[in-house]
Structure 1
Amino acid sequence: MSDKELTTKKYWEAYYKNSHVNKQHILTVCSYYSPIWEIFISNSEVSKSLIEIGGFPGRYLAYLANRYNIEPTCLDYNSDLTQIEGSFMEMDVQHYHIIKEDFIKFKPKLKYDYVMSNGFIEHFKNYDDILDLHVKYMSENGRLLVMIPNMKGYIQFYKYLVDYKNLKIHNLKCMKLKVFEDFAERHNLSILHLGYYGGFPLGIHQKINFLQKIIYKLHRLVFKYFANDKLKKYPSKYFSSAIVGVFEKQ
């Protein structure tokens, strides 16, 4: 593990130990981002290539490959290939590639029409350097999609109360639009989309005590049944769960 990483390989292998290979689960999780996919993927019928950085367990790749008839590549250092292969099988994707390498050390041999990473750069202290490495994978006129969780604003307060272990493995410094605006300027990339996305992130990644359960249930009541529908229409930097950027080489 590098001293610039906030997580370890061991952490991620344990995190995804339980199988995420289920077609309905893949469809439910991935279709939530349908408006973003429509911006990211062009409607060209020409065969295209797609790589996901930190792609384990492969559900987004499998979904996009099936939906847009794109040949996918998963780059991830996770040693368990069964979930990635299972995701492709569930979505009836026959042709795919898996690169089992450390993204920081790996030198790409190919360029791709579409490059994406989801929940990746925020686990590094040097997030700007990690972002910059993504550009090496982009072909001429290629597109890049970066999605990261938003844990600032009121979300940070909520996470501090009930999900602190998860909060502290994320670098909140990268969770602002200015980081991505500067990134686009550094590499002369057009910004096709940049903004906050989604409802309030209620998920908890640790065991919680009685008081924390009350806090969680109150938030669940307010956001799931009242506020989240409005947040999906009018995203907020204080309450929405993600930051999404789509970029294109000029």
Structure 2
Amino acid sequence: MRHGSIRVLFKQTNMSNLLTDRQFWVNYWESKTGLSVNIPADYLFHKELGSIISTQNVKTAIELGGFPGYYAVFLKKYFKLDVTLLDYFVHQPVTNALLKANGLSESDIHIIETDLFNHRELQKYDLVLSCGLIEHFNDTGDIIQRHIDFLKPGGTLLITLPNFRALNGWFQKSFDKDNYDKHNIGCMDPELLAGICRDQGLQVVQAKYFGHFSLWLENEQQKPAGLRMLKKSLWLAGKVLTKVFPFNSKQLSPYIILEAKKPV
């Protein structure tokens, strides 16, 4: 599930669209420690975000499903954007501690704690971002449309998600099936995502597998020692291989990235 950080989900009247529920995420976050980290300038996807912001004159951005707000903090800290974090579940003390750890104040980020599927007062933004959100819904077209609803004309949509069709997915399925089953594997297809955006009238800038290699386990320190050793061995082997032969691929890349623009 990890994708920079896990994204908390929203309720919907049609619960069959969800692969998790609110209690799952409450339990998940309560099990975590060390959430208030100093986010570095080279945070995951920093080059892609920097390019969008500099070339598209981005002033406003919203991170959907982003608690505790790592990307919202990143965008405020390094690009001084007017940033909003929207999520169904927000534990304010955690977000406040994250802001403080990054030299920001509580007023630096707008927070909307709401059910996305019933949220009607939609402000429009230059950049709409989610990282590790859409794969927790069965109806991929619907959740992407929820993103598009927030876009200004000429605005940019950036969606990233894990690639569980890669070796990392096999590892999750084999050794953490419960985690694997919380994901819609079918949506992990760049061409599918690009097609959904084109059908909604967006111009697709890129839709591809991203990153050379990575492997992870949720709550790794709670796993058996043998499994942790296996994970470390595979991680090291993959890193060596892709250091010598760096390339993005369906088989090894840990992420998928989708960037699209809404016509003016």
TM-score, structure 1 as length reference: 0.88
Q: CA deviation at 1:14?
A: 2.5
Instruction: Name the residue aligned to 2:7.
Output: none
The counterpart of 1:229, out of the listed 225, 235, 243, is 243
Find the residue that maps to 2:207 and give its secondary structure: strand
Partner of 1:68: 79
How many percent of aligned residue pairs carry the same amino acid? 25
Assess if the C-alpha contact under 8 Å between 1:19 and 1:83 holds in 2.
no
Judged with a 3 Å threshold, the aligned counterparts in structure 2 of structure 1 residues 230 and 42 are, in CA distance, closer, same or farther, namely farther
Structure 1 residue 201: deviation in Å? Answer: 3.0
- Cα distance in 2 for partners of 1:128, 1:67 equals 32
Tell me what 1:38 maps to: 50
1:137 is matched with 150
1:181 is matched with 194
CA distance in 2, matches of 1:47, 1:88: 21
| Shift in Å, 1:176 | 0.3
Alignment of 1:11-22 (within 5 A): 11-17=24-30, 18-22=33-37
The Cα of 1:158 is off from its aligned counterpart by 1.9
Secondary structure in 1 matching 2:117? coil
> Conserved in 2, the CA contact under 8 Å of 1:39 and 1:246?
no
Q: Give the drift of 1:43.
A: 4.6
Q: What CA distance in whole angstroms lies between the structure 1 residues aligned with 2:49 and 2:255?
A: 15
**What's the CA shift for 1:120?**
0.4
Amino acid at match of 1:215: L
Further displaced range: 12-21 or 236-245: 12-21
The match for 2:5 is none
How far residue 41 of structure 1 moved from its aligned partner, in angstroms, is: 1.8
Give how far 1:197 is off.
Answer: 1.1
Q: Give 1:128-207 correspondences, 5 Å limit.
A: 128-205=141-218, 207=222
**Aligned counterpart for 2:102 among listed residues 87, 91, 105:** 91
Q: TM-score, normalised by structure 2?
A: 0.84
CA contact (8 A) 1:40 1:145 kept: no
State whether residues 198 and 241 of structure 1, in contact with CA within 8 Å, keep that contact through their aligned partners in structure 2: yes
More divergent stretch after superposition (88-97 vs 55-64): 88-97
**How much is the aligned-residue C-alpha RMSD, in angstroms?**
2.2
Gaps of 5+ in 2: 1-10
| Alpha-carbon distance, 1:20 to partner | 1.1
Query: What CA deviation, in whole Å up to 9, does each residue of 1:175-214 have, x standing for no partner?
Result: 0012211122112212222211123332112544465345
Counterparts of 2:187 and 2:130, CA distance in 1? 14
State which drifts further: 9-18 or 68-77.
9-18
Residue 100 of structure 1 pairs with residue 113 of structure 2: yes
For the 8 Å contact 2:210–2:248, the answer to whether it is kept is yes
Task: Give, in angstroms, the shift of residue 141 of structure 1.
Answer: 0.6
Q: CA–CA distance in 1 between the matches of 2:28 and 2:198?
A: 35
C-alpha distance after superposition, 1:71-117 (max 9, x if no partner): 11000111411222232333334432100001122123311111101
CA distance in 2, matches of 1:170, 1:177: 16
Amino acid at match of 2:25: W
Mapped partners of 2:74, 2:244: distance in 1: 27
* One-letter amino acid matched to 1:138: L
Residue 169 of structure 1, CA deviation? 0.5
Question: For 2:20 and 2:146, how far apart are their aligned partners in 1?
Answer: 19
What is the number of equivalent residue pairs in this alignment?
Answer: 244
SS of structure 2 residue aligned to 1:185: helix
Partner Cα separation in structure 2 for residue 137 and residue 33 of structure 1: 21
